[in-house]
Amino acid sequence: MTQDFATRIIAPGSTIGIMGNGQLGRMAALCAAELGYKVHVFGPGTDSPTEQVCAKATVADYTDLDALRAFASDVDVVTFEFENVPHDSVKLLSQLVPVRPGWKCLHLSQNRLREKTFCNENGIGTAPFAAVLSLADLKAAIAKLGRPAVLKTTEMGYDGKGQVKITDETSLDDAWAEMNGAEAILEGFISFEREISVIVARGVKGDTACFCPVENVHTNHILDVTIAPAKIPADLAKKAEDIATRLVEAMEFVGLLAVEMFVTTDGDVLVNEVAPRPHNSGHWTIDACITSQFEQFIRAVCGLPLGNPAHHSNARMKNLLGHDIDDWQAILAEPDAKLHLYGKAEAKAGRKMGHITWLLPKEG
């Protein structure tokens, strides 16, 4: 990236290119419009959630180099709502237009092994882990880390996909077979009280701003409820925010980074994984914060001053999965329920179709 690309301010009236066309892009595009920007979205599939609300859409595969070049020529900056874009495609874009966050940040966050190694090299704790490239590696890793443990693909996989829990009854041959030969990582189990996340923004000048830590409750490996703020001691909240800030600074990151963490039973905070984009656990900020995660995302990637992330209300956010949205009339009949739907044509089991946020009095 040229120095000009690194520091260029993208003024209102410009066009923001977003790679990925799901609900995160949709909510980001709506905030971009409020700040006077147009959005050109790139991704496979027509009538996507983002396409429905943006100025222009390129429907193409992420490896279509001609489409990527044409996309780059039509936008003033490129960012992501989906991090698993091939890094070679991102490198191509970065030669043509400012890309925020940069391809090196994406490359790091696309791989669980690289991600956890980077955390440890920067003095940030994670669950114990080992690289697994073969059945022999898996057996050696189990001997080292013990059972229970979780075997995951190093790349792709989310909401519980691409992972196997290994207990005393699990056949290692069967567990390895489920990886289909993919590079994997074995993560040792840790004893934790709750799962939390911190979303942090970093601007082109290195300024940072954190949203408060929130507690996340998962059902079947998919986020069900987010409680904001997390009910943890002030010193742990500060530690979590410090970890997130250290990570964006070490990565020289520009944009929005979500850091998922465990609060352990012995009072420590360990990083689980990161996402270099807006995050499901930040949806509550739309209704409860002075600056939402999506506005902050747009501000950061455009080189604007960061907004105030403080929350004016506590909140509870619940995902609507699959046919949960069939209850939309009952939800809207509840005056204090803030309903957000994503415009997806078909409700499928486990598919994120929308969310509800309830605002609560801010304590203290």
Among residues 96, 120, 97, 93, the alpha carbon closest in space to that of 108 is found at 120
* Annotated binding residue 17: no
* Annotated binding residue 316: no
* Annotated binding residue 165: no
Residue 163, C-beta contacts closer than 8 angstroms, at least 6 positions apart? 150, 151, 152, 153, 157, 221
* Annotated binding residue 331: no
* Annotated binding residue 355: no
* Annotated binding residue 161: yes
CB-CB neighbours of 103 under 10 Å: 20
* Annotated binding residue 158: yes
Rounded to 5 degrees, what are φ and ψ at 135?
Answer: -60, -35
* Annotated binding residue 42: no
What's the rounded Cα separation, in Å, for the pair 326 and 332?
12
Query: Which residues partner with 56 through β-bridges?
Result: 40
What's the rounded Cα separation, in Å, for the pair 305 and 208?
10
* Annotated binding residue 187: yes
* Annotated binding residue 224: no
* Annotated binding residue 273: yes
* Annotated binding residue 272: yes
Query: 125 vs 79, 88, 184, CA distance in Å?
Result: 28, 30, 20
What are the tokens at 80? Answer: 């992501």
* Annotated binding residue 277: no
Q: Which residues are annotated as a binding site?
A: 112, 152, 157-163, 187-190, 195, 218, 272-273
Residues of each annotated binding site for ATP: 112, 152, 157-163, 187-190, 195, 218, 272-273
